Chains A and B, each alone.
Chain A
Amino acid sequence: MSFSTFVTDKAGLQKFYEAILANNETYAPVEKFGKFDYKRVTNLSECDPASPIAKTLSMKPLFFPRSAKVMKYVATSSGTDVSEVDEDPLANKRVVLGVKHCDARSLQVLDKVYNWDYIDTDYQKRRMNTVIISTRCDKADTHCFCTSLDYDVENLDALDVRVVNGSGDKIFISARTAKGEEFLSEPVSGHMSRITDEVAGPEMKNQYAAFAGSFRLKMDYKEVNARLSKIFDTPEFENVSGNCVSCNTCAFVCPTCHCFKISDEKVKDTGVRYKSYDSCNNGYFTLMAGGHNPRPAKYRRWRQRAMHKFVYYKERFGENLCVGCGKCTISCPVNISIFEVVNQVSVSMQE
């Protein structure tokens, strides 16, 4: 199917966002302490859909909450009553504004694990009910490498509606999926003019070319996939992970990391079970009762992290478990970069 493209300007884009906010449950990047997190918003002034990529947290929590109640229970004299928690606050029909392309792509990657075998119906419902409005970046940040990975950033269909800055004051708004096409109907687009691909296409191409030319980091992911898949025992993993303080921040900010833990908390006779983020960098992650731990050393946990992202997930689900957003590197307190880790280990294998 062919999708519509509209042309507008800054004021028109503002009006577009305002129309969305007026008629939809809307989430967008909201600034707090210099960082942007995706929150429910009712007024455009509360948020910034053009928030800088390096200061914006992933929207993953809108699909996979940082810590969610799974159930409650009460121990009574006659037995244990287990009750499911209230309705899913993330299951409503909703729109997310200001999503970065890499972050949108991460949902396509996560779909694979959530729709495998046991289907995560909560995730699926959140996903189905969400319209993603994404602005294509104009310039890569220091740690960005999305264009080096296994997805087509220019023609990404992980987002429903794409906003691209054209020359001068022009802004192009295009549907990228059937859901996006439906969304761009009269109420939100009535003030904008339709434009043909012949006219808009070259301008959007130029924008992409300038963006693609701005990357500091470049790699050949196929080469990295191939080299890493041939190695397991290499001292290089010790070299690259030496500074890691096992704080797990990289996993918590990563848009594709999906490991979690199940924990129970009980006060007197009432308890709650939580499902919360966890990380393979955590030394207790694979520790078994009795003391056996298949990944007792930090370099083994880093090997797991790197290999899961660039070998295991690829083998299992056909995608890299990395979208090249650089969030882990930006947030790392000891400046470890996943880009450098996989490249350094790969290169060491070449020599």
Chain B
Amino acid sequence: MEKLLVPTICKVDKVIQETPDIRTYRLKFRDEGLMEQFTFLPGQFVEFSLLGSGECTFCIASSATRKGYFDCSIKKAGVVTADIHTNIEEGDEVGIRGPFGNWFPLDDIKGKNLLFVGGGIGLAPLRSLIQFCIDNRGDYKDFTILYGARTSADLCYKDEIKEWQDNKSLRVVLTIDKPEETWNDNVGVVPKILEEVVKPVIENTSVITCGPPIMIKYTIQSLLKLGFADKDIITTLEMKMQCGLGKCGRCNIGSTYVCKDGPVFTNEQLKSLPDEF
């Protein structure tokens, strides 16, 4: 076990200030051979160490179809994340363990319409799947991304969103919670825009959603109201994790280990778990 807790050193290739409190760290293994071997699927996570400060769990925010690097988008939220924001710059080294956990049900969503519903930093895990699906665009039908944040400044991946907007095979709907002078797009919380603007096709559509707990809660309510089945609503859970190996005992919900059986669950699966997440 002890050996499984030793991280591998990665170099920070690039730091992108996404929002006032979110930074994306583009990472490459110091050992180039390891970088080539490193493979993961959308939805998986890594344990990210700032040596001396601690280790945190982050989803991988990019897709392995984009080779030679992987991204972690980190919101300043606690002690270690604040340390990361303060201390980690381009060229610095961090420790990585992983990838861990399950992934989005790639076989189930093949051939379907895709509807991504993201809020704030919740777009990070979705981005891994969005990139993966864009890189395999022929495998999917309609492709819609609904993304919202509190303010326009809090929208992540602004440059990439422009690329998505320019991509004629994608429909991108953006929203912010309250009106702003320079904002000419949708205003309103994600579930409201989902019902009033997106008006999704229900049939043969998989919905993949992630965001703050409150957004997920109301988004799922809206989706069910619109007629989606629980099994077609897919989300990824945030739980406190440390080992990522199904051993340290933190992330369980009932007898389910989120680090092994998750973090990706359908709403059907979530309904069978005790209400403790």
Contacts and interface: CB of A to CB of B under 8 A. Distances in A.
A71 interface: yes
A79 B77 CA distance: 27
A273 interface: yes
A313 B9 contact: no
B52 A120 contact: no
B248 A120 contact: no
Nearest to A307: B254
Interface stretch (B142-150, B151-159, B238-246): B238-246
Interface in B43-81: 49, 51-56, 75, 77-81
Given A70-B6, A82-B9, A289 B239 contact: no
Contacts of B77: 288-290
Contacts of B249: 258-260, 278, 280, 308
Contacts of A266: 51-53
Contacts of B240: 285-288, 294
Nearest to A79: B93
Interface residues of B, number: 46
A85 B2 CA distance: 9
B225 interface: no
Given A261-B242, A288-B239, A82 B78 contact: no
Interface core residue of A70, A289, A312 (most chain B CB under 10 Å): A289
Contacts of B247: 113-114, 118, 120, 258, 260
B7 interface: yes
A104 interface: no
Contact of A292 (B49, B53, B238, B275): B238
Nearest to A85: B2
Interface of B: 1-7, 9, 30, 49, 51-56, 75, 77-81, 93, 95, 213, 238-240, 242-243, 245-255, 260, 274-277
Contact of B252 (A120, A261, A312): A312
Question: Which size class do A's interface residues fall under?
Answer: 35 or more
Given A71-B5, A85-B2, A289-B81, A264 B52 contact: yes
A289 B52 contact: no
B3 A79 contact: no
A292 B248 contact: no
Interface in A65-96: 68-71, 73, 75, 79-80, 82, 84-85, 88
A210 to B, nearest CB: 38
B242 to A, nearest CB: 5
A300 B248 CA distance: 18
Interface core residue of B1, B7, B242 (most chain A CB under 10 Å): B1
B54 A271 contact: no
Given A121-B1, A232-B274, A275-B1, A262 B242 contact: yes
Given A289-B80, A292-B238, 8 more contacts: A117-B245, A118-B246, A232-B275, A260-B242, A288-B78, A294-B277, A300-B276, A313-B255
A289 B2 contact: no
B100 to A, nearest CB: 9
Contact of B255 (A84, A121, A232, A316): A316
A117 B254 CA distance: 18
Nearest to A284: B240
A259 B276 CA distance: 18
Interface string A110-122: 0001101110111
Nearest to A289: B78
Interface in A173-196: none
B9 A315 contact: no
A275 B2 contact: yes
A80 B51 contact: yes
Contact of A286 (B6, B95, B250): B250
Interface in A248-305: 258-266, 271, 273, 275, 278, 280, 285-290, 292, 294-295, 300, 304
A260 B255 contact: no
A122 B78 contact: no
